[in-house]
């Protein structure tokens, strides 16, 4: 049995053990608005989806479709943050960052190889 996006919003709130008031305050909407969403009297718009996902580290695909995990993994969060910053860099700095990542990967692999030989 699939759930609606409204039901998944409530699932997030209850999983986080937050009252409707605290949940609503965290995403800057009224208590009555979140109550209306949970009772399925109100639609969940894109703005609310983004606020919930950003504020509570919720997997946007799960919130929209019910597929996948409810929360993003810490690695996913770090990747998204890195990509946001990377996109803001000038192309020449992006190139520099890519070279540095490549060098770090080489260092990491060298350390792994040393450890397996010991």
Question: Where do runs of H (alpha helix) occur along the chain?
Answer: 5-15, 20-26, 31-38, 46-56, 60-65, 74-88, 91-117
33-88 tens-digit pLDDT: 999 999 999 999 999 999 999 999 999 999 999 999 999 987 877 888 888 888 89
User: Are residues 12 and 66 in contact, defined by beta-carbon separation less than 8 angstroms?
Assistant: no
Q: Which residue has the tokens 């997997």?
A: 59
Q: Write down the pLDDT at residue 20.
A: 96
Q: Write down the pLDDT at residue 1.
A: 65
Closest CA to 49 of 90, 16, 8, 83: 8
Tell me the pLDDT of the chain averaged across its residues.
Answer: 92
pTM, full prediction: 0.69
User: Are residues 1 and 66 in contact, defined by beta-carbon separation less than 8 angstroms?
Assistant: no
User: Are residues 53 and 77 in contact, defined by beta-carbon separation less than 8 angstroms?
Assistant: no
């Amino acid at each position: 049995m699939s759930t609606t996006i409204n039901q998944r919003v409530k699932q997030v709130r209850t999983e986080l053990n937050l009252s409707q008031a605290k949940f609503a305050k965290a995403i800057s909407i009224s208590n009555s608005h979140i109550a209306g969403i949970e009772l399925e009297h109100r639609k969940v718009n894109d703005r609310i989806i983004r606020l919930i996902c950003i504020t509570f580290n919720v997997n946007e695909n799960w919130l929209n479709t019910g597929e996948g995990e409810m929360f993003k993994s810490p690695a996913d969060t770090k990747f998204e943050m890195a990509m946001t910053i990377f996109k803001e860099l000038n192309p020449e700095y992006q190139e520099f960052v890519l070279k540095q990542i490549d060098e770090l990967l080489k260092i990491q692999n060298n350390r792994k190889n040393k450890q397996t030989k010991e």
